[in-house]
């Protein structure tokens, strides 16, 4: 017995694999990004912690009845967590700027091209259709959408896809400016938008989420959960009569779910499966999707500028990629670096909110098309 | 190469659907905005925003924003601390007013009981106090 | 394939039924009541949202693994949510006024007659015994009790019963005054109650919830969950040593559970099953139960007034229906409309708290009698 | 008509049980109230209420009640904003006093750590500061 | 039918057993300890409430689908709740004092001897190996660790073990001083420690939880869940970038879980199984474990004092038992009673934090050894 | 008696493992502390404290700050209520300032810094204060 027990006592040390050690390094990088660089710490820190706990030798945390397994089953497998977080996001999102400039929806739509462009690239690289769609969804540049879609189409890629999605979202202020400068002329960047003075009544603000839910839910049932959750949160917010629920959904609930979500996703990053060439491909394709989103958004915005006779600042197109609300703030920064008196922020916010909606729609569309044809 | 075909098809149909849906949304919005009543709209607007602010639970956060306190007598600007203090005060007071003045129709149960307990209790106390006092 | 996919893409539009459209209208009415009229928005808004999401064509939200299904299984099917909310209510209820006037318990008991009166009417209308009892429980005029009882006896009626219960609770200030004026004379309404000066010690306040739990739990085991949850919350509150738990139960937990509860109940309101003549009958019977409760309470109070030689304001009887604490406030309003110097509020609060307890007791009694004899 | 009979029977037994239980409760209460100690009762009372107030977590709750602010010098009544601000202050301060004065027996773990963290830490800070300072 | 129903109506009264009545008395004592004496009210009050509800005749709360059963399955059976609470504790624990005096870890290790001493005693008393280990773990003097270990080795003893663990933790200020005075001389108690002036950088504070997780998780995989959860919370806290999550884990989440945990544990205290001679033995052994922990800690501290040439205050050894942070405060009180100017608090906090870590480690070790050899 | 043997064995191996692990931890710590960079450490410290303080939506966190309030003109000490009020005010104002001035790089989603760790601040304040004082 003693020998067996001794062996069992040393099981931990002997069970340590090189993949585990590499994953500890990966987790270390994520922690550095989260803590030192403040890149999406709310997600990357729990993900890194989950990855460490999952890669410990013989980790009881990912065994049956393990803590991380429980969390995964409780909210990732059934897609509960991303939807709950979407309710919270809806409760925190102000669609006012979009309601004031409805045409901004076009930029939101353009900002999703990267999803499909990368889907094609992934197919060419030999990924399966479901995998390719899951990789493409990184181009939604929206965390919960990526988790929701890839969780259904390719759960085994959930880890790298989520990490890519959140890391690149945090990198918006780094990645976007060069692209924006490359595709626009200083003159274009200096264009000042006319303030959209229109006031939006409370009635419209309340009808908006209901209308979107009915419209999208009817035309693309597969998008109903994402859009429904987002708009439910926004309805609670705009109704102004359920502050308790709005607060709970956007604070207590969102916090707890974010923690569990991060841990559960981190637990999928087990060395043996994570350390594959595919993972690197995913990280690479993700950044391509990112660039394509921004580029198409900018190009469409340049078109709008031409149509509007030079009164539309093309930078705003870059805000259509969602990554709410960072993209809009980056647009403001870049515009201001050309002309300190220029304030396209509110218009960019409109495009940004449109991108948020468009991302969820695109996610549903992708599910419908791929799930429909995959089998 | 079937996969490429599939990819192009998905891209074509997908982007089409996304654009289609958002254009439909655009039309819907323009329609809604057609029926905008400006005046009341603005009013509701403000009210909605106030409520939304209070909604955050941290009624205090936007306080400094809300109050553009300026010394009427052209004196020096007040201390930030004072500004913030008054900010808290105004927010809290606004909340209390809002909840005490709530119409009889307002539903206090099960949710708002927290507020009821907070503020209505105060009002009720005053009520019964004044009732105790009257004899004197 | 393309054809199939096109068909699938249009599935949403083609799947739209007239029942769904009607249900969208119903949800619209509920939203209007909640937002514009501020009728129980904390429940009606999530219920309406759930109804919209559940009636979307081919709604993935109520499919297996759908968000609303998950919430329903998590807390309605096993009755967890209504009990958790009851803990929160107990933590927010001050039984002091009842402890100061124990005789008020009689009015609480009288305020439950509507439950049984309507049960009989429902039986005569041809509802099954379990259904009739579930409809009758609307007369408890207490949300969680209605959900708990009907969830066990007739889950398929959960939607209309819950909607009726909460809508009518919100209508207390509208429905009650006429009944109160009809059954009392101005002279009776002007009666001023002697202030119940008695002070209740903290010890008694702490022993009260324990005693009630033991008493009711022993005599009517079926009522143990409802009373136990209510009194657990009250014990936490009165103990004064677990503020963290009291706060969590009455805030964070209550908010999240209320949101989930509303959504899950709304998800049961699928057109095909909701749009039945039975639903209208339930709405009608609910208001009858309401009136019967108030009437019996008033009548008993008039008796007490006679016994006490004209020193007992009969209006207080109307507060026995529970609908805590609105009914008590309505009593105060009506009394004041006769004599501005009259303050029966604290006495009405006593009757009201008694009604709260009596409602839970009646719910358990009903479960015991009907579940016992139904099979 | 069996159903009607059933209904009447349920009504009879049901109302009987409800009344029976509540009357039993009445007796129980009267019994309990028989053994009421008035003086300490009131004292405990107040204490309990204070705690209950703090329990709401929102220290702002009791503000309106707590402050019977009246200008001692018969001056004009203070601004509502100021009243509210002082309300917050008093509530917070009261809470701190109560929690710093907690007896050694009070259990700080795992729950009360919230309070410990807020206020006892402040007290501990002072303690260790004075410890740092003594040398000088 | 009527007879059957009458019998059923009286089922409650007839179903009342003497064990149930005794358990109501036990719950009453726990409530008195929690409310009147303020002994760990956050756990003992819910436990007592759960015990009352579980011992009601034919209690529906512990039946299948009963409230308490749901809570038990949701978080005790799968060990979720104690781990979640551990995350919250980690988020509230400041390991700074330990980082400033690393040698304090020795006292933390010594403070665990009671676990094993009592394990031997329990074996001699005829308890099975798994049971003995579960009883010994009371010596960890740490609630979640006791629940976690006994929940895996001897779930049927969960009730008495948890009650003993929390009651004795609350009794630290009563039990420890005599032991401390008995084992130390006034001269020793008057020793003033040099202030550990060293400043610990934020980097070290962040690396600490990561390092501990890797070290312990690798060497004793069985300890990974406890240490991992504790250190996850501490990492979130020290990172300073995820305050939302830290706050949620240490407040909202901790509060709700504490309530559920207490209720679920109370529900295991059903008279028939709780009222056994074994329970008394457990209560007795628990206090022995307690004394042994303190004694070994003090003895080792006296050794350190000798080694350090009389500059180490032996009282600090008593803080190694964990019971964080009460033990450290008691050390401060006893030391001050000898010399009012003496402030060993910060050093005691270091030993205390070490005890917290050591307790979790010991729990994992015990699981590894006993689970490994039991079968 | 096999059970006794088992018990002794478990005790021996168990205490051995516990001591072994904690000694290993000790070495690890000493190693880490070898590479302590004082300056940056303290600096980080300060930053962390600010964050922690703002983190607590509960305006009570900045207690230590509050304690520092002293009348500059050597007047009488301010009322606790006023002190607390200013404490709240400063914290809230700081928070609002910070949230408005947050760098684009900070991630606002899904949570900006509303609520969080409550008892970091005091402990950290103590340290950074003692660190501030040392120079003197
Ligand atoms: Na996007
Ligand atoms: Na009722
Ligand atoms: Na210990």
pLDDT in tens, C309-359: 889 999 999 999 988 888 999 999 999 898 888 888 889 999 999 999 999
Residue with tokens 């899904």, as numbered in its chain: F110
Q: Ligand 3 center to residue E114 CA distance, Å?
A: 9
Which one has a higher pLDDT value, D3 or C20? C20
Which one has a higher pLDDT value, D45 or A134? A134
Mutate to test the interface with B, among D63, D66, D78, D89 (most CBs of B within 10 A): D63
Question: What is the pLDDT at residue A88?
Answer: 93
Spatial distance between the Cα atoms of C321 and A49, rounded to a whole number of angstroms: 53
Give how far F129 is from chain B: nearest CA, Å.
22
Question: What is the pLDDT at residue C169?
Answer: 87
Please give the average per-residue pLDDT across C246-262, as a whole number.
Answer: 93
Q: Name the pLDDT band for B112 (thresholds 50, 70, 90).
A: very low
Q: Ligand 3 center to residue C277 CA distance, Å?
A: 66
Mutate to test the interface with E, among F20, F22, F37, F107 (most CBs of E within 10 A): F22
Alpha carbons within 13 angstroms on the beta-carbon side of residue C97 total 24
pLDDT tens across E149-190, in order?
999 999 999 999 999 998 888 888 888 999 999 999 999 999
The string of DSSP codes covering C257-270 is HHHHHHHHHHTT--
**pLDDT over threshold 50, residue C265:** yes
Decide: residue C15, CB within 10 A, 0-12 exposed, 13-18 middle, 19+ buried: middle
Question: What is the pLDDT at residue F79?
Answer: 54
**pLDDT over threshold 70, residue F107:** no
CB atoms inside a 10 Å sphere around CB C92? 24
Question: What is the pLDDT at residue A110?
Answer: 93
Please indicate whether, in this complex, the C-beta atoms of A242 and C61 are within 8 angstroms of each other: no
Q: Name the pLDDT band for D108 (thresholds 50, 70, 90).
A: very low
Contacts of F118 in chain D (CB under 8 A): 114, 117-118
> Could you say which ligand is closest to the alpha carbon of residue A320?
1
Which of A45, A61, A258 lies at the smallest CB-CB distance from E225?
A61
Per the CB < 8 A criterion, the answer to whether E93 and E234 are in contact is yes
Q: Ligand 2 center to residue C141 CA distance, Å?
A: 5
Please indicate whether, in this complex, the C-beta atoms of C240 and D36 are within 8 angstroms of each other: no
Q: Is the minimum CB–CB distance between A16 and chain C shorter than 8 Å? A: no
Q: Name the pLDDT band for E5 (thresholds 50, 70, 90).
A: low
Structure tokens at C279: 């639903």
Question: What is the pLDDT at residue D1?
Answer: 53
**pLDDT over threshold 90, residue D130:** no
Spatial distance between the Cα atoms of C89 and C67, rounded to a whole number of angstroms: 26
Which of A319-323, C173-177, E35-39, E368-372 has the lowest average pLDDT?
E368-372
Question: What is the pLDDT at residue F66?
Answer: 32
Estimate the crossing angle of helix E129-136 against helix E113-124, to 10 degrees: 140
Which of E40, E173, E345 lies at the smallest CB-CB distance from D128?
E345
From the CB coordinates, do chains E and B have 3 or more pairs under 8 Å?
Answer: no
Question: What is the pLDDT at residue A11?
Answer: 82
Per the CB < 8 A criterion, the answer to whether A303 and A334 are in contact is no
Q: Ligand 1 center to residue B51 CA distance, Å?
A: 30
Q: Ligand 2 center to residue C294 CA distance, Å?
A: 9
For B113, the closest chain D residue by CA position comes to: D56
Contacts of D131 in chain E (CB under 8 A): 195, 343
Percent of chain C with pLDDT over 90: 72
> Could you say which ligand is closest to the alpha carbon of residue C290?
2
Please indicate whether, in this complex, the C-beta atoms of A116 and B19 are within 8 angstroms of each other: no
- From residue C339, give the alpha-carbon distance in Å to each of B100, C182, C192, C296, C343: 22, 17, 9, 24, 9
Please indicate whether, in this complex, the C-beta atoms of D81 and B96 are within 8 angstroms of each other: no
**pLDDT over threshold 60, residue D75:** no
Please give the average per-residue pLDDT across F16-31, as a whole number.
Answer: 91
For residue F84, give every residue at least 6 positions away whose Cβ sits within 8 Å of its Cβ, in sequence order, or none.
D88, D89, D90, D92, D93, D96, F66
Alpha carbons within 13 angstroms on the beta-carbon side of residue E211 total 18
Percent of chain C with pLDDT over 70: 97
What rounded mean pLDDT belongs to chain C?
A: 91
Please indicate whether, in this complex, the C-beta atoms of E119 and F56 are within 8 angstroms of each other: no
For chains B and D, CB pairs below 8 A equal: 47
For residue C22, give every residue at least 6 positions away whose Cβ sits within 8 Å of its Cβ, in sequence order, or none.
C271, C275
Contacts of F61 in chain D (CB under 8 A): 118
Percent of chain E with pLDDT over 90: 71
Buried b (16+ CB within 10 A) or exposed e, C336-367: bebeeebbbbbbbbbbbbbbbbbbbbbbbbbb
Buried b (16+ CB within 10 A) or exposed e, E228-260: bbbbbbbbbbbbbbbbbbbbbbbbbbbbbbbbb
Please indicate whether, in this complex, the C-beta atoms of B90 and D81 are within 8 angstroms of each other: yes
Alpha carbons within 13 angstroms on the beta-carbon side of residue E165 total 35
Identity of the highest mean pLDDT range in C74-78, E195-199, F38-42: C74-78
Buried b (16+ CB within 10 A) or exposed e, C63-74: eeebbbbbbbeb
Question: What is the pLDDT at residue E199?
Answer: 77
Please indicate whether, in this complex, the C-beta atoms of F18 and E112 are within 8 angstroms of each other: yes
Spatial distance between the Cα atoms of E360 and E356, rounded to a whole number of angstroms: 7
Which of A42-56, B51-65, C159-173, E200-214 has the lowest average pLDDT?
B51-65
For residue C230, give every residue at least 6 positions away whose Cβ sits within 8 Å of its Cβ, in sequence order, or none.
C86, C87, C89, C90, C93, C209, C356, C357, C360
The string of DSSP codes covering E210-247 is HHHHHHHHHH-GGGHHHHHHHHHHHHHHHH-S-HHHHH
Spatial distance between the Cα atoms of A124 and D42, rounded to a whole number of angstroms: 80
Q: Is the minimum CB–CB distance between A22 and chain E shorter than 8 Å? A: no
Low-confidence residues in chain A, pLDDT < 70: 1-2, 5, 196-197, 372-375
**pLDDT over threshold 60, residue F60:** no
Question: What is the pLDDT at residue B71?
Answer: 44
CB atoms inside a 10 Å sphere around CB A372? 16
Spatial distance between the Cα atoms of A185 and E9, rounded to a whole number of angstroms: 85
> Could you say which ligand is closest to the alpha carbon of residue C294?
2
Give how far F81 is from chain E: nearest CA, Å.
27
Which of A206, A221, A248 lies at the smallest CB-CB distance from C60?
A221
Q: How many helices (H) and strands (E) does chain C have?
A: 21, 0
Question: What is the pLDDT at residue B124?
Answer: 37
Contacts of C343 in chain B (CB under 8 A): 127-128, 131
pLDDT tens across A255-275, in order?
999 999 999 999 999 998 899
Q: What is the ipTM of this complex?
A: 0.79
Please give the average per-residue pLDDT across B106-126, as a whole number.
Answer: 32
Q: Name the pLDDT band for C217 (thresholds 50, 70, 90).
A: very high
Per the CB < 8 A criterion, the answer to whether A245 and C259 are in contact is yes
Q: Name the pLDDT band for B113 (thresholds 50, 70, 90).
A: very low
Helix, strand, coil % (nearest 5) of chain A?
Answer: 80, 0, 20
Alpha helical stretches, state H, A137-171: 143-153, 158-170
Q: Ligand 1 center to residue A7 CA distance, Å?
A: 52
Question: What is the pLDDT at residue B30?
Answer: 87
Question: What is the pLDDT at residue F54?
Answer: 38
Per the CB < 8 A criterion, the answer to whether D41 and C201 are in contact is yes
Please give the average per-residue pLDDT across C198-207, as a whole number.
Answer: 87
Percent of chain B with pLDDT over 90: 17
Question: What is the pLDDT at residue C5?
Answer: 66
Mutate to test the interface with E, among A4, A23, A259 (most CBs of E within 10 A): A259
pLDDT tens across C288-300, in order?
999 999 999 999 9
Please give the average per-residue pLDDT across F4-21, as a whole number.
Answer: 92
Q: Is the minimum CB–CB distance between C123 and chain A shorter than 8 Å? A: no
**pLDDT over threshold 50, residue F135:** no
Question: What is the pLDDT at residue B1?
Answer: 53
């Amino acid at each position: 017995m003693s020998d067996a027990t001794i062996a069992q006592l040393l099981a931990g040390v002997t069970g340590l694999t090189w993949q585990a050690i590499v994953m500890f390094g990966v987790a270390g990088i994520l922690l550095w990004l989260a803590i030192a660089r403040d890149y999406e710490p709310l997600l990357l820190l729990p993900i890194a912690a989950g990855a460490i706990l999952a890669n410990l030798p013989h980790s009881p945390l990912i065994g049956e009845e393990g803590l991380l397994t429980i969390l995964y089953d409780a909210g990732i497998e059934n897609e509960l967590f991303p939807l709950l977080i979407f309710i919270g996001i809806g409760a925190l999102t102000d669609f006012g700027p979009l309601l004031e400039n409805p045409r901004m929806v076009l930029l939101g739509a353009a900002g999703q091209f990267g999803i499909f462009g990368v889907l094609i690239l992934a197919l060419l690289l030999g990924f399966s259709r479901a995998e390719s769609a899951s990789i493409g969804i990184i181009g939604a540049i929206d965390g919960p959408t990526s988790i929701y879609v890839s969780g259904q189409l390719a759960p085994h890629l959930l880890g790298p896809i989520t990490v890519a999605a959140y890391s690149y979202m945090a990198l918006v202020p780094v990645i976007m400016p060069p692209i924006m400068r490359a595709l626009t002329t200083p003159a274009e960047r200096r264009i000042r938008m006319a303030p959209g003075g229109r006031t939006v009544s409370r009635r419209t603000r309340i009808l908006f989420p209901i209308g979107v839910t009915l419209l999208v839910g009817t035309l693309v049932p597969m998008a109903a959960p994402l859009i429904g959750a987002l708009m439910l949160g926004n309805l609670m917010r705009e109704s102004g009569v359920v502050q308790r629920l709005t607060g709970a959904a956007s604070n207590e609930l969102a916090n707890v779910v974010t923690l569990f979500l991060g841990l559960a996703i981190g637990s999928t990053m087990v060395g043996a499966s994570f350390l594959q060439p595919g993972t690197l491909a995913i990280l690479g394709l993700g950044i391509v999707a990112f660039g394509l989103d921004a580029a198409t958004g900018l190009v469409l915005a340049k078109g709008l500028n031409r149509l509007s006779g030079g009164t539309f600042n093309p930078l705003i197109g870059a805000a259509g990629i969602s990554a709410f609300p960072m993209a809009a703030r980056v647009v403001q920064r870049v515009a201001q670096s050309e002309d300190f008196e220029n304030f396209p922020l509110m218009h960019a916010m409109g495009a940004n909110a449109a991108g948020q909606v468009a991302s969820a729609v695109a996610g549903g569309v992708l599910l419908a098309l791929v799930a429909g044809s995959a089998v | 190469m079937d996969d490429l075909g599939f990819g192009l098809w998905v891209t074509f149909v997908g982007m089409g659907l996304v654009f289609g849906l958002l254009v439909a949304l655009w039309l819907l919005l323009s329609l809604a905005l057609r029926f905008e009543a400006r005046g009341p709209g603005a009013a509701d607007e403000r009210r909605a925003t106030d409520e939304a602010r209070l909604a955050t639970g941290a009624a205090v956060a936007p306080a400094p924003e809300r109050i553009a306190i300026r010394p009427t007598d052209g004196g020096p600007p007040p201390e930030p601390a004072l500004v913030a203090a008054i900010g808290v005060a105004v927010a809290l007071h606004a909340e209390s007013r809002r909840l005490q003045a709530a119409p009889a129709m307002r539903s206090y149960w099960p949710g708002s009981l927290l507020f009821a307990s907070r503020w209505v209790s105060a009002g009720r106390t005053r009520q019964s106090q004044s009732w105790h006092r009257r004899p004197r």
